[in-house]
Amino acid sequence: MTEELVNWSGSLRFTPGRIERPTSEEELSRIVRRAAAEEKTVRPIGSMHTSSPIFVTDDILVSLAHLRGVASYDPGQSEATVLPGTPLHVLGDALHAHGLAVPNLGDIDVQQVAGAIATGTHGTGRSMQSLSCMLVGGRLLTAAGEIMAFSIEEDPEFVRAVRVSLGTLGIFTALRLRLLSAYDLRRREWCTTIDRCCLHLEDLIAENRNFDFYWYPRSDTVKLRTWNRPGEGPDDIPYATLVEDRTGPAHRMLSKSRSLKFHEMEYALPAKTGYECFERVRTAVLEKHRRNVGWRVLYRTVAPDDSCLSVASGRPTVTISLHQNATLPFWDYFRDIELIFVEYGGRPHWAKKHTLKADDLRPLYPEWDRFRKIRRQMDPGGVFMTPPLYDLLEGGE
């Protein structure tokens, strides 16, 4: 009998029909061809850090864990081709050994690179795009079981679609990434009040390469986090207390090890009304949810991009994340705050908790129909489509 799988936070449990762990493109091709012949669906999984059911299937689950590592690199072009099952923290060390580094990372780096890219995972920084924007080429196993090479030089429109595609256009077997030369970052964390943070927010966002803040509902205080190249950024934040100061390779400074598991909802909002939305969220938490919610709320920025289904597509973006301990109820809290996010035109993170369906999402993405057309062309038989994905990506005619 196939084993039951549980995602990182424990909120999703399912038992697929079978789990495949291919070690080559050829083996993966045979798996997909056989599935298509049997009219089964195939879903790829990464590290299962995802907490939305986009990878859940009753049929065939494909783990890419054996397809990992850096396949080739070119420091002169600041590019590398990596395999899909490479965890981000492994990728960071491997790239560093070749004199390369990712431009940005999220707070957590346990995800596999293909999953992080395909779901539009991001870090923070007003000029920092999502991780998906690193993708400039690669290889994709299609629903027909064939390998398709793609590149931004030959087909930029396809790359704009495939970057954030939730594994519905095919399964990445290699990803060519545009990177930076290896660099150091100085990471500092500061404690201050919400009023001071609000007063200086625009400067904090503008003056630091990467900046975000956590708001703590139980004390109405904040922690500011800044990342800058050594010698750059503000010398001091005089209205805050410095509590952490470290410098090192960028990939080790951007993310932090997290052992405590949590549920998360995150929405991406237009930057110009991002803080106004945050204040609405803060008020709602203080007035209605503080009894049961102790975890912090995270405020980040993301630069706009042109990927069809990126949450930052076409607009400077602020993201607001809600957290709740994995052992505690979360839906009452998340659903209530989600109403505020939706009111502000928020787009939910594809890999986190939300309740939106295709009809809700379509008006939020100007290139929704173009993506859907490409998806239908790439996978007319729905080999990569499951009921949760039909709910998410189809409909909305």
Partner 1 sequence: MKPIGRTLWVVPGGHIPLYSTGKEPRCTSNDSLSVLNATDRDAHLQITIFYTDRDPVGPYPLDVAAERVRNFRFNDLINPEAMPLDTDYAAVIESDVPVVVQFSRQDTGRAENAICTTMAFPGE
Give the strand pairing for 184-193 and 241-249: antiparallel
Q: Is 295 in the site for partner 1 (CB under 8 A)?
A: yes
With contacts defined by CB under 8 A, name the span among 17-25, 288-296, 336-344, 348-356 that binds partner 1: 288-296
Other CB atoms within 10 Å distance of the CB of residue 238: 8
Among 197, 293, 356, 383, binds partner 1 (CB under 8 A): 293
Q: Is 18 in the site for partner 1 (CB under 8 A)?
A: no
DSSP annotation string for 318-369: EEEEEEEETTS--HHHHHHHHHHHHHTT-EE-TTS-----HHHHGGG-TTHH
DSSP annotation string for 245-264: EEEEEHHHHH-----S-EEE
Would you say 107 or 220 has its CB closer to partner 1? Answer: 220
Would you say 15 or 325 has its CB closer to partner 1? Answer: 325
Strand-pair partners of 148:
140
Task: Give me the least distance between CB of 47 and partner 1, in Å please.
Answer: 22
Task: Give me the least distance between CB of 295 and partner 1, in Å please.
Answer: 6
Task: Give me the least distance between CB of 388 and partner 1, in Å please.
Answer: 28
Report how far residue 131's alpha carbon sits from residue 119's, in angstroms, rounded to the nearest whole number.
9
Task: Give me the least distance between CB of 378 and partner 1, in Å please.
Answer: 43
Binding mask 49-88 for partner 1 (x = CB under 8 A): ----------------------------------------
Task: Give me the least distance between CB of 123 and partner 1, in Å please.
Answer: 23
What does residue 111 show for φ and ψ, rounded to 5 degrees? -70, 155
Considering only residues 242-261, where is the footprint of partner 1 by CB under 8 A?
260
Would you say 290 or 373 has its CB closer to partner 1? Answer: 290
Task: Give me the least distance between CB of 381 and partner 1, in Å please.
Answer: 45
Considering only residues 304-333, where is the footprint of partner 1 by CB under 8 A?
325, 327-328
Considering only residues 329-368, where is the footprint of partner 1 by CB under 8 A?
none
Would you say 288 or 370 has its CB closer to partner 1? Answer: 288
Q: Which helix (H) or strand (E) holds 29?
A: helix 25-37
Task: Give me the least distance between CB of 324 and partner 1, in Å please.
Answer: 8
Residues 6+ apart with CB under 8 A from 215: 194, 221, 222, 278, 282, 296, 297, 299
Is the distance from CB of 271 to CB of 299 less than 8 angstroms?
Answer: no
Q: Which helix (H) or strand (E) holds 82?
A: strand 79-82
Other CB atoms within 10 Å distance of the CB of residue 26: 10
Considering only residues 173-232, where is the footprint of partner 1 by CB under 8 A?
216, 218-221
The residue among 312, 297, 394 whose CA lies nearest residue 347 is: 312
The length of the chain is 397
Would you say 104 or 192 has its CB closer to partner 1? Answer: 192
Q: Is 290 in the site for partner 1 (CB under 8 A)?
A: yes
Give the strand pairing for 221-228 and 180-181: unpaired
Task: Give me the least distance between CB of 216 and partner 1, in Å please.
Answer: 8
Would you say 18 or 256 has its CB closer to partner 1? Answer: 256
Chain residues in the site for partner 1 (CB under 8 A): 216, 218-221, 260, 290-295, 325, 327-328
